[in-house]
């Protein structure tokens, strides 16, 4: 029996019909060379024999003295959690994304361990897919990504590999993996991590400096007052998932041409897509949109390597020219990173918590519409850089499937894999119609940067 920590309890508390609180991932594989046509059906039979279920996948929710705890499910029904399914013809990526959209809309059964794995056949070109979803109270998004990677191998000849529910147990400590999460900052605001009193002087100084900049410069002011936007309405429980890969070489070429980072370019791609999408909906605010962007912050004077912080980044969606927009995004990111370089990790967490206070209050209650601190989440999670295989089947793509909330109808999450950047967009189907068109707008945003740089 393991008590839930406050962050995990928050995910349960926030969940409602229109706001499922599970994260997911879609993995696309190609058949091993020489595999028979019924390869996926044979794989399903093999997986059904993997009846050993390790933590956290053997844990279900229970209550002791009114408090939620994790207990081992002694009657776990693997048939409920592992499902073998087929796409309707013609088995295109469109049908696959429609399947994930529908499944990601469904709440999970709290009387059972809250996870599902869907093995999906019927794709064209001798491919198959795995869609996995796990409740966010059980694992965070980064941990889920790590587990999905641990079940894979760099050796295409390795077979007999276990599914995700049968991996060796990992510690459930969120300490490192969820360090850049919005929810870590929210729980911090609720007083759950407020013992770092020594950070107060530096945090107060930096916060005052930021506020003074906001008073003098409208660009800084937008960080505290994001515009009202169709992205920030109440949502329904229906989801639409859109996903696509981009070659990392193209993005790096733009980086070199403009002197920016990969994170700057993918953020600019998202900004361009949002600008075009909202313009086509006749809903682009005059003020620039603001994004919640977790970033890696290298500390060159420290042996600690990288640290992670959160930046509230202006997307400069009021700027028409793509190159100018990218450079403005880059300068804003660099300015925030420079601020963080003078702060300890604890000070960064506290500073982030204070600047997110209006957003947290509004997201949790909806009672402060004028405190719209940001409009969208853009999260870039590093992934494996080499080709990976699962029982001989090559992993062709891996796409994150995240969470939408009331007043936060779109989440743009991406990861890197084998010289590609994999975008996964999840949005409310009713609030954001024709969300799949944003994939075309992402491509247009990158192509415009390439043209302007003569690439």
Residue of 22, 81, 118, 136 marked catalytic: 136
Domain ranges of the chain: 2-151, 197-389+399-453
Query: How much is the average pLDDT of 285-314?
Result: 69
What is the percentage of the chain residues whose pLDDT exceeds 70? 79
What is the three-class DSSP state of 195? coil
**CA–CA gap between residue 265 and residue 12 (Å, rounded):** 35
Q: Report the pLDDT value the prediction gives residue 197, as an integer from 0 to 100.
A: 41
Rounded to 10°, the helix 322-341/248-258 angle is: 80
Q: Which CATH number fits domain 2-151: 3.10.20.30, 3.40.50.410, 3.30.559.10, 1.20.5.510?
A: 3.30.559.10
Is the per-residue pLDDT at 258 higher than 90? yes
Query: pTM value?
Result: 0.86
User: Is 75 marked active-site?
Assistant: no
Q: Report the pLDDT value the prediction gives residue 178, as an integer from 0 to 100.
A: 42
Instruction: Grade residue 249 by pLDDT with cuts at 50, 70 and 90.
Output: very high
In 79-135, the DSSP E strands lie at 82-86, 115-123, 127-135
Residue 133's DSSP bridge partners are 24, 116
302 versus 142: the higher-pLDDT residue is 142
Q: Report the pLDDT value the prediction gives residue 180, as an integer from 0 to 100.
A: 46
- Summarize pLDDT for 52-104 with one digit per residue, the tens: 999 999 999 999 988 999 999 999 999 999 999 999 999 999 999 999 999 99
Residue 55 CA from chain centroid, whole number: 23
H/E element, 158: none
Q: Which segment of 96-110, 122-136, 327-341, 413-427 scores lowest on mean pLDDT?
A: 327-341
Q: Report the pLDDT value the prediction gives residue 139, as an integer from 0 to 100.
A: 84
344 versus 98: the higher-pLDDT residue is 98
Q: Report the pLDDT value the prediction gives residue 299, as an integer from 0 to 100.
A: 47
H/E element, 399: strand 393-401
* Residue 211 DSSP symbol: H
Helix/strand number for the chain, H first, E second: 14, 15
CATH of domain 197-389+399-453: 3.30.559.30
- Summarize pLDDT for 368-390 with one digit per residue, the tens: 666 778 999 999 888 899 999 99
Tell me which range, 219-233, 296-310, 430-444, is most confidently predicted by mean pLDDT. 430-444
**CA–CA gap between residue 380 and residue 296 (Å, rounded):** 9
Please indicate whether the domains covering 2-151 and 197-389+399-453 agree at the CATH topology level: yes
Q: Report the pLDDT value the prediction gives residue 455, as an integer from 0 to 100.
A: 81
CA torsion sign, 412 to 383 to 315 to 434? negative
Q: φ and ψ at 187, to 5 degrees?
A: -65, -30
Q: Report the pLDDT value the prediction gives residue 170, as an integer from 0 to 100.
A: 55
Q: Report the pLDDT value the prediction gives residue 369, as an integer from 0 to 100.
A: 61
373 versus 24: the higher-pLDDT residue is 24
Give the chain's mean pLDDT. Answer: 85
Is the per-residue pLDDT at 240 higher than 80? yes
Q: Report the pLDDT value the prediction gives residue 339, as an integer from 0 to 100.
A: 79
Q: Report the pLDDT value the prediction gives residue 347, as an integer from 0 to 100.
A: 72
């Amino acid at each position: 029996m393991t008590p839930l920590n406050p962050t995990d309890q928050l995910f349960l508390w926030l969940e409602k019909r229109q706001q499922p609180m599970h994260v997911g991932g879609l993995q696309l594989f190609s058949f091993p060379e020489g595999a028979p046509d019924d390869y996926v059906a044979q794989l399903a039979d093999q997986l059904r024999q993997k009846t050993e279920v390790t933590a956290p996948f053997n844990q279900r929710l229970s209550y002791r003295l009114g408090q939620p705890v994790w207990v081992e499910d002694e009657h776990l029904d693997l048939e409920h959690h592992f499902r073998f399914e087929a796409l309707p013809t013609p088995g295109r990526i469109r049908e696959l994304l429609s399947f994930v959209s529908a499944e990601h809309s469904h709440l999970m059964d709290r009387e059972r361990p809250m996870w599902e794995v869907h093995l999906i056949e019927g794709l064209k070109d001798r491919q198959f897919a795995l869609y996995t979803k796990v409740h966010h109270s059980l694992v965070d998004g980064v941990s889920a990504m790590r587990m999905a990677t641990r079940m894979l191998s760099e050796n295409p000849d390795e077979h007999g590999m276990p599914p995700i529910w049968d991996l060796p147990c990992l510690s459930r400590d969120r300490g490192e993996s969820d360090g850049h999460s919005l929810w870590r900052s929210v729980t911090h605001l609720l007083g759950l991590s407020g013992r770092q009193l020594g950070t107060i002087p530096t945090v107060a100084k930096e916060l005052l400096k930021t506020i003074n900049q906001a008073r003098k410069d409208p660009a800084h002011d937008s960080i505290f007052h994001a515009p009202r936007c169709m992205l920030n309405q109440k949502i329904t429980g229906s989801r639409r998932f859109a996903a696509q890969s981009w070659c990392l070489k193209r993005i790096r070429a733009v980086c070199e041409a403009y002197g920016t980072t990969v994170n700057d370019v993918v953020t600019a791609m998202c900004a361009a897509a949002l600008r075009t999408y909202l313009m086509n909906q006749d809903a682009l605010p005059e003020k620039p949109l603001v994004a919640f962007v977790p970033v890696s912050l290298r500390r060159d004077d420290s042996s600690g390597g990288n640290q992670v912080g959160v930046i509230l980044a202006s997307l400069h969606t009021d700027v028409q020219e793509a190159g100018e927009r990218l450079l403005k995004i880059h300068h804003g990111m660099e300015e925030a990173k420079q601020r963080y370089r003078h702060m300890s990790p604890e000070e960064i967490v506290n500073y982030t918590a204070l600047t997110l206070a209006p957003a947290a209050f509004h997201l949790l209650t909806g009672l402060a519409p004028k405190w719209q601190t940001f409009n969208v989440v853009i999260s870039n999670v590093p992934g494996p850089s080499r080709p990976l295989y699962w029982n001989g089947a090559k992993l062709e793509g891996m796409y994150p499937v995240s969470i939408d909330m009331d007043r936060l109808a779109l989440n743009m999450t991406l990861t890197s894999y084998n010289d590609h950047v994999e975008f996964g967009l999840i949005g409310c189907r009713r609030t954001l119609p024709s969300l799949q068109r944003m994939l075309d707008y992402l491509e247009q945003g990158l192509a415009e940067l390439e043209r302007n740089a003569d690439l």
